[in-house]
Amino acid sequence: MKTNQKRRQFIITSACAGLGYCFLARRTGLSAMNHLSTQDDEIPDPKKLNYCGYVCPEDCPFLKGTLENDVELKKEAYKLWQIEERFGVEFDPEKIFCYGCKAEGKPDGIVLTNCTVRSCAMSKELDCCIECDNLADCDEDLWTRFPEFKNTVIEMQKKYRASQNI
């Protein structure tokens, strides 16, 4: 039970951002266990979750590098998120930033603008995919690349719906 809980927490905290770029980054050994989006006994709150169900950890180098305007951290994030390989964008500290999936009043960085889950949920005016009737059948890239994460989010949706009597 404990192991399953930790595993679910790991999946949740490992699955960001923008088509799984954060997932790739987190797998490289950054602390992944301490930033939980939901506990097993907690009802998921769509407003507190990112659009896909993830919660950005405070020690994310992309977020930290952006908030502290730390060029070295931004460089680290640039490599971890494979931004050159994926987007063909050269490193420029002015253009490489991320304030988080739902940061109000802040510009969207390259990872956010390329996340199809985020843009889809926003176009449907949802706070999170756990509110979407199509989640189980949704084949957006994030879900097909990370099916375990999708299963975790589906479980979150069940819990959310039960709490809302849906």
CB closer to ligand SF4 out of 115 and 156: 115
Please give the span between the terminal C-alpha atoms of the chain, in angstroms, as a whole number: 27
CB closer to ligand SF4 out of 32 and 52: 52
Q: Which range touches ligand SF4 (CB under 6 A), out of 24-32, 37-45, 48-56, 80-88?
A: 48-56
Q: What is the dihedral angle through the alpha carbons of 101, 107, 109, 115, rounded to the nearest 10 degrees?
A: 50
Cα–Cα distance, 152 to 11 (Å, whole number) = 8
Q: Can residue 132 be called a binding residue for ligand SF4 (CB under 6 A)?
A: yes
Q: Which range touches ligand SF4 (CB under 6 A), out of 4-12, 24-32, 62-70, 124-132?
A: 124-132
Instruction: Enter the tokens of residue 99.
Output: 């304030």
Q: Can residue 12 be called a binding residue for ligand SF4 (CB under 6 A)?
A: no
Cα–Cα distance, 49 to 43 (Å, whole number) = 11
Binding pattern for the stretch 62-101 against ligand SF4, x by CB under 6 A and - elsewhere: ---------------------------------------x
Q: Can residue 18 be called a binding residue for ligand SF4 (CB under 6 A)?
A: yes
Minimum separation from the CB atom of position 7 to ligand SF4 (A): 19
- Contact predicate 16/35, CB 8 Å: no
121 in the Ramachandran plot: left (φ > 0), alpha (ψ -120 to 50) or beta? alpha
Q: How many residues of this chain bind ligand SF4 (CB under 6 A)?
A: 24
User: Residue 70 burial (CB < 10 Å; 0-12/13-18/19+)?
Assistant: middle
Q: Using CB under 6 A as the criterion, which residues of the chain lie in contact with ligand SF4 when the complex forms?
A: 16-18, 22, 50-52, 54, 101, 112, 115, 117-118, 120-121, 124, 126, 129, 132, 134-135, 138, 140, 142
